[in-house]
Amino acid sequence: MLIVCHPVLYSAVVILRMVDRKLSEIAYSIRESFHDSGYTEIFPPAFLKSDKVDGFRFIYRNKIFVLEPDITLRLMNRHITENSKIYYISQQSDEYLNESLKAGSEIMGGDEDETNIEILRMAIKILDNLGIKNYNIDISLTGIFDSYVRKKDGQHLIRAVKSRNYPQIQDMEIDDKDKLLQIMDTRTRKSGIDKLDSIIERIDDPRIIIDLGTVRQPEYYNGLIFEIYGKQEFLGGGGNYIMKNLRGCGFSLDLQALSKLYHGSHERVEK
């Protein structure tokens, strides 16, 4: 019996196969990068029992669970020893069941400044190994906007800063608004902040920029924070945090976003 595939269905299948192949190649390259650098792969749990964690919540036997929440929150339920270097590739879901495929790493313990340097170099290594060159890493510190957060509508203000919503900020009643806007627009290679200037000097990569307007959420970040952008795509980010009285630093990358910039091994060989 001859089976004829509908042209539209056939095209959809071909596109899906191309997407899957790209994601497979990206995941393979990321695993190689981490393995070569001495990281151990872990497999985070798919859900947590919690009524405070963001994500898609469901009730089972009168208890609240969250499906595939933020990766760092999933790690908090694991026993992770000091000086661990781990990585993962895992699904994440939001409250609307929108899924994303994330890859990232965490370094627990050790000297904070050395850990920051290593984690940033690891992110650069992954992106370079994928053949992705046109990206920037914006670095900053938590606490830059603390004096504003404590004021009225502080959380609304921080969300506006994170999204660079200048019209909304202009409409808000804020003391020192001009200073706030100046901080948001600070993009430099030398800031006068020793921790950030030291990173720029030691890594010496023009794609790393000090951007004091960078804001990371959730609120467990403490210290260095950073975000990674392509020309138009948000690729990922991370920073310092404290988990179970153990200081860590980590980052995650969005594989779907990376796939828009990744040309594939065959295409890169041809070029």
Could you tell me the residue ranges of all domains in the chain? Answer: 20-142+185-270
Length of the chain: 271
Helices then strands, counting H and E runs in the chain, come out as 10, 12
CB atoms within 10 A of CB 89: 21
Average pLDDT of the segment spanning 255-263:
93
Interval 81-130: pLDDT, tens = 777 899 999 988 877 888 889 999 999 888 999 999 999 999 999 999 99
The CATH code that applies to domain 20-142+185-270 is: 3.30.930.10
| 104 bridge partner residues | 88, 252
Packing angle, helices 7-36 and 112-129, rounded to 10: 140
Local confidence band at 77 (pLDDT 50, 70, 90 cut-offs): low
Does residue 64 surpass a pLDDT of 80? yes
Q: For the chain, what is the mean pLDDT?
A: 86
Average pLDDT of the segment spanning 212-240:
91
Residues 76, 244 contacting (CB under 8 angstroms): yes
Q: Which residue, among 89, 100, 70, 116, has the nearest Cα to 32 in the 3D structure?
A: 89
Distance separating the N- and C-terminal Cα atoms of the chain: 43
Nearest-angstrom CA–CA distance, 141 and 249: 13
For position 5, what pLDDT does the model report? 53
